[in-house]
């Protein structure tokens, strides 16, 4: 029987957004030379399609890296995240925001884990190997999206299969899950 819950992890970016539901993984890329509004519109449509087909139970997004907020495009990225959150709210899908250091601590046991360390942690803990995806094609975006989905599944009591020691509960509890309730499955996922 298929799990009636579908948690989506989104590593939102203006150039390479990773998406995963723990089974399906995708990346949505845009060119920095393309008009910003067109890029944001296309990314929103792609994320909505991934999130609503089939319907998501929960969306878990990586939050802002506050230490990097002086980077070019931080305002636009914040706007993209907020527009996605509003759309999910309209659809009745709860959204949880996970700070990058909390995601790294939960996944790799270290809040400063590197991208390759995150990839290795996902392989070790979940036996999901992203090594076949080229870095330029969004390898690390998919890794983060998968790890975000794994946190969401754990939160709603339907953890993904894991090997070795369990992830640190402290990191899971550090996330504001206040808008997330353990959902009751329905036929259409709402």
Q: Is 126 in contact with 160 (CB distance < 8 Å)?
A: yes
More confident position, 1 or 48: 48
68-82, 130-144, 161-175: range with highest mean pLDDT? 130-144
Q: Where are the alpha helices (DSSP H) in 53-185?
A: 74-91, 100-108, 115-126, 139-155, 169-173
Domains annotated on the chain, with CATH: 7-173 (3.30.420.10)
Specify the pTM: 0.91
Residue 96 CA: distances (Å) to CA of 69, 85, 145, 146, 147: 20, 9, 13, 15, 13
What pLDDT sits at residue 177? 93
| pLDDT of 181 strictly over 90 | no
Q: Is 136 in contact with 100 (CB distance < 8 Å)?
A: no
Least confident range of 17-21, 77-81, 134-138, 179-183: 179-183
Q: Is 83 in contact with 31 (CB distance < 8 Å)?
A: no
Q: Residue for token digits 């270290």? A: 110
What pLDDT sits at residue 66? 63
| pLDDT of 17 strictly over 50 | yes
| pLDDT of 186 strictly over 90 | no
What pLDDT sits at residue 74? 81
Q: What's the whole-number mean pLDDT along residues 113-131?
A: 97
pLDDT tens figures, 19-51: 999 999 999 999 999 999 999 999 999 999 999
What pLDDT sits at residue 156? 93
């Amino acid at each position: 029987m298929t799990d009636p819950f579908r948690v989506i992890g989104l590593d939102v970016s203006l150039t390479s957004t990773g998406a995963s539901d723990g089974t399906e993984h995708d990346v949505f890329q845009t060119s920095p030379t393309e008009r910003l509004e067109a890029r944001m519109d296309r990314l929103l449509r792609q994320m909505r399609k991934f999130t609503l087909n089939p319907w998501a139970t929960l969306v878990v997004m990586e939050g802002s890296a506050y230490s990097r907020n002086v980077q070019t495009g931080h305002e636009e990225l914040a706007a993209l995240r907020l527009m996605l959150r509003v759309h999910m709210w309209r659809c009745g899908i709860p959204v949880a925001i996970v700070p990058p250091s909390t995601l790294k601590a939960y996944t790799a046991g270290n809040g400063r884990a590197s991208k390759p360390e995150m990839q290795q942690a996902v392989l070790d803990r979940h036996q999901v190997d992203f090594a076949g995806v080229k870095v330029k094609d969004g390898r690390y975006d998919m890794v983060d999206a998968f790890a975000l989905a794994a946190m969401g599944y754990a939160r709603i009591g339907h953890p993904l299969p894991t090997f070795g020691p369990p992830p640190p509960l402290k990191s899971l509890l550090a996330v504001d899950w206040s808008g997330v309730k353990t959902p009751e499955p329905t036929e259409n996922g709402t």
